[in-house]
Amino acid sequence: MSTIDDLPPLRQVIATHDLRARKQLGQNFLLDLNLTAKIARQAGDLTGCDVLEIGPGPGGLTRGLLAEGARHVLAIEKDERALPALAEIAARYPGRLTVIHGDALQIDPLAHLTPPIRVAANLPYNVGTELLIRWLTPPQWPPFWESLTLMFQKEVAERIVARPGDKAYGRLALLAQWRAEARIVMSLPPEAFVPAPKVHSAVVHLTALPEPRHPADPAVLSQVTGAAFNQRRKMLRAALKGLHPQIEALLESAGIPPTARAEEIGLDRFCALARALAEARRPA
């Protein structure tokens, strides 16, 4: 039996259900239940919370979340091979685990969750960034989630928490830090996983802010940052020239030198530029 519950160790679960990781599904399994419980604890006090998990696989993190007291876990799993193993966990924790077989990019989880809601997942590498951007850019804010505790490739994690001037600083950092508090809380070496990936991994914890750090229209800010970082190292007056004929004047009104580059500019200035651009586009 395992160290966190009376279910079998994960290596045994994988052998019993023939759950060898599939590269095409972005799978790398974390088999140390002590580590999965530690990741679950990074999500904070889960008692009284529903938790959304994407890509549970054989259920290591799922078991950690339930053992740490999550009121209810909704696990969305694309790989039907994992369903019998997850059913065994559901039987061990009656009424506390719901498993949906399907693609997390196409499923609305909110019909199955009751606030307060947290998200915790060892995200499949091939959909992790897309899911994060969706959670950071909902039509309304605050979002459905209180916090996100997510495992990424370390390179992606560093992009989320990067600051102006950092090599990893870009659009993902701006979108994350505009509306959330983001920090790396754990790092894991390749050998922690089966199969071992070629890169290190890291867990990022994001806490939703009640409102964005600076006012800006989300669509305009997304457009500005997308254009600014699409051609890194290019002066902003050139990178953004397609957004407005008077872009140099708008940059200056936002306190940004037209010769500056995107990687040098902080969130507050980008938000100021988004406000100036939105105002300039309003009909007279």
The model's pTM: 0.93
Spell 103-124 as b/e; 16+ CB within 10 A means b. ebeebebeeebeeebbbbbbbb
Contact 191, 246 (CB under 8 A): no
Per-residue pLDDT of the chain (284 residues), as tens digits, is: 567 899 999 999 999 999 887 777 667 888 899 999 999 999 999 999 999 999 999 999 999 999 999 999 999 999 999 999 999 999 999 999 999 999 999 999 999 999 999 999 998 877 899 999 999 999 899 999 999 999 999 999 999 999 999 999 999 999 999 999 999 999 999 999 888 889 999 999 999 999 999 999 999 999 999 999 998 889 999 999 999 999 999 999 999 999 999 999 999 999 999 999 999 999 97
- Widest pairwise Cα distance in the chain: 71
* Cα(148)–Cα(125) distance, integer angstroms: 16
Taking the C-alpha atoms of residue 18 and residue 188, their distance in angstroms, rounded to an integer, is: 25
| Run of H or E residues at 184 | strand 180-188
- Count of alpha carbons within 13 Å of 212, Cβ hemisphere only? 20
Residues with Cβ within 8 Å of residue 261, at least 6 apart in sequence: 232, 233, 234, 235, 236
For residue 139, count other CB atoms closer than 10 A to its CB: 6
